Structure 1
């Protein structure tokens, strides 16, 4: 029986779970990783968070999935091997790998430590390496990554509940820093109390902001205010509460990935307020111009963060005891987890116990 291309590309055997078609169903998958080069770090994967983009890509919702696909870009693991040019990491250290594993390193974005905006950026999975081979993600036993895209893991940051910070955390932290949402006493609205939203609440409070959660789900109020520490809660379908909050917020972070109206959110902003969208709806949103012009308001976006800023975020979260609220799962639960994720049935992030899950499988 001949080997698949994935097994022949590189000599280093690897094992994970992959989706092979648009059904999105994941199952055991033998493939390969490259050998550890002089600039590389080999990592045994311990935990991997389950991001909503994993679900989209497994099902080809965005139309560019390259099957088979091994998802996962919220990776925490242990260094097992380092190349001769790697001086800042040692075997046995805990490290993280986020949503990217390569960039050109020469463009303006790369020179400004914004590799996430490099036009040649390589995603951790479902991307093409510079050698023409495909990248595979963290739903697997190990990974080999260029040293410049490996993050040092703070000693006091839990590796399981900290894993989602590598995508959800930096996706929130980066726009908060860039758009100036760090001034104590200012008022931040957080739309959607999911994987990104609950971390936005925690980061907002750590920056000293007044935080209001805006949600369509009334049952989330106690969770938002009593456990996560939000100062107030607005049901977006309650016209009385929405009217009372008009013009009260300095910033809003919108984490919702479904199609939804922006006009009510713009109404909540003060003059000169900023609405930053982080969700990725599958259809365009309608943007009313009058509220922007009459209030000199801003609508912006943001996409993860560079390596330097991601390291900064990890250190900040470690200092302030910020991690994700997670449900730890085994690898063979992933298809059920994906079904639940599609229904927003998780508080607030699934994380796969990769090392313990995959130890029961023997590679063929």
Structure 2
């Protein structure tokens, strides 16, 4: 039997979000029905709602940072039971057969992973609807088991773990892939929703972390999150900030979606260092090949992580007491939260209380 769920949806590109309903499918054999408790607001939600990216389908319920409780299970579900607290991140399906999927990297599915929202369901062709809702149906293979934490499901700790299902795995995956550990020198460019989590995780992995941010307004927070130093890149420092850090970093995570003078950041890479793009600038980048060849440097990209790695990340963060710094918002405050995210006023992620939907 299908489930009608209340939701917060965008009726059209650029429109304010409003309350509506979505229909959740009847459970397939490997599905779980989840009652949503918390749903994070990601900057990519705002891009999608505003129609900044192609292939948007409206009306749309966004949201791919989800925590809730299993309410019902399909006949073949074996790993989860009614009452289990679970998370759902940026994807809800993949082909399961290609080289990426069989390697546990469903996020790089060669046949295209199915996004949690605004994506085509590979079984029935319907458009997926996300976590700004009271309920969602998801394959058990794409659920994350959430740990027991102080305050339980309804507590602020669990709410603050919600953004980890996107921001956490987006930063954890490249840190692990490029072997960050004790003695690693890591730079984090931008300290917003992604960047502040990157600082916490890199520090917990044992790295020496430097934050590069436009101004000094977040310096105290950056040091509190574990960074050993903080560098302002704007104003009078815009043309010179990189010079004191030439050849310094093993890994630079660029979490910024705005255009940057990328050659200055490349110059700060140590030999064999890598600059990883996590943000998605709207314009192309001008890269000077001699900056790469002279030190065997690399520029790479990374996109979330596989399900097993996401579970590993959640367990790591629980062990080290890592959560996002959040602001809780009700359903009636989501449009204002969007405006505040765009104005860099939220410190550092907004999470919707789904009980208000």
Q: How far apart, CA to CA, are the structure 2 residues paired with 1:183 and 1:336?
A: 39
Q: How far apart, CA to CA, are the structure 1 residues paired with 2:292 and 2:23?
A: 51
1:246 maps to 246
Q: How far apart, CA to CA, are the structure 1 residues paired with 2:338 and 2:316?
A: 30
Matched, 1:195 2:212: no
Deviations 1:248-268 (A, max 9, x none): 211111000111121110111
Q: Is 2:10–2:49's contact at 8 Å kept on the other side of the alignment? A: yes
Shift of residue 240, structure 1, vs aligned partner: 5.1
Shift of residue 156, structure 1, vs aligned partner: 2.5
1:134 maps to 127
Pairs within 5 Å for 1:149-168 = 149-156=142-149, 158-168=157-167
Shift of residue 241, structure 1, vs aligned partner: 4.4
Per the normalisation by structure 2, the TM-score is 0.94
Q: How far apart, CA to CA, are the structure 1 residues paired with 2:127 and 2:274?
A: 38
Shift of residue 64, structure 1, vs aligned partner: 1.8
Q: How far apart, CA to CA, are the structure 2 residues paired with 1:154 and 1:12?
A: 27
Matched, 1:224 2:222: yes
Matched, 1:233 2:230: yes
Deviations 1:10-32 (A, max 9, x none): 83211101111122310011220
Deviates more, 1:25-34 or 1:231-240: 231-240
Deviations 1:90-143 (A, max 9, x none): 111110000000111111111001111112311000011120111100000000
Q: How far apart, CA to CA, are the structure 1 residues paired with 2:15 and 2:297?
A: 40
Matched, 1:123 2:115: yes
1:43 maps to 34
Matched, 1:267 2:267: yes
Shift of residue 341, structure 1, vs aligned partner: 1.0
1:177 maps to 176
Pairs within 5 Å for 1:12-91 = 12-91=3-82
Q: How far apart, CA to CA, are the structure 2 residues paired with 1:183 and 1:206?
A: 9
Deviations 1:175-200 (A, max 9, x none): 111122x2201210000001110011
Partner secondary structure for residue 161 of structure 1: helix
Q: How far apart, CA to CA, are the structure 2 residues paired with 1:319 and 1:295?
A: 37
Per the normalisation by structure 1, the TM-score is 0.93
Q: Is 1:74–1:98's contact at 8 Å kept on the other side of the alignment? A: yes
Q: How far apart, CA to CA, are the structure 1 residues paired with 2:170 and 2:162?
A: 13
Are the structure 2 counterparts of residues 240 and 117 from structure 1 closer, same or farther at C-alpha, using a change threshold of 3 Å? Answer: closer
Q: Is 1:24–1:55's contact at 8 Å kept on the other side of the alignment? A: no
Pairs within 5 Å for 1:87-102 = 87-102=78-93
Partner secondary structure for residue 304 of structure 1: coil
Partner secondary structure for residue 141 of structure 2: helix
1:3 maps to none
Cα RMSD for the two superposed structures: 1.2
Deviations 1:261-312 (A, max 9, x none): 2111011111111111100112212222111011110111100001010001
Partner secondary structure for residue 294 of structure 2: helix
Q: How far apart, CA to CA, are the structure 2 residues paired with 1:63 and 1:25?
A: 19
Q: How far apart, CA to CA, are the structure 2 residues paired with 1:80 and 1:96?
A: 13
Q: Is 2:149–2:158's contact at 8 Å kept on the other side of the alignment? A: no
2:305 maps to 305
Q: How far apart, CA to CA, are the structure 2 residues paired with 1:241 and 1:73?
A: 36
1:334 maps to 334
Shift of residue 63, structure 1, vs aligned partner: 2.4
Q: Is 1:235–1:242's contact at 8 Å kept on the other side of the alignment? A: no
Q: How far apart, CA to CA, are the structure 1 residues paired with 2:2 and 2:107?
A: 29
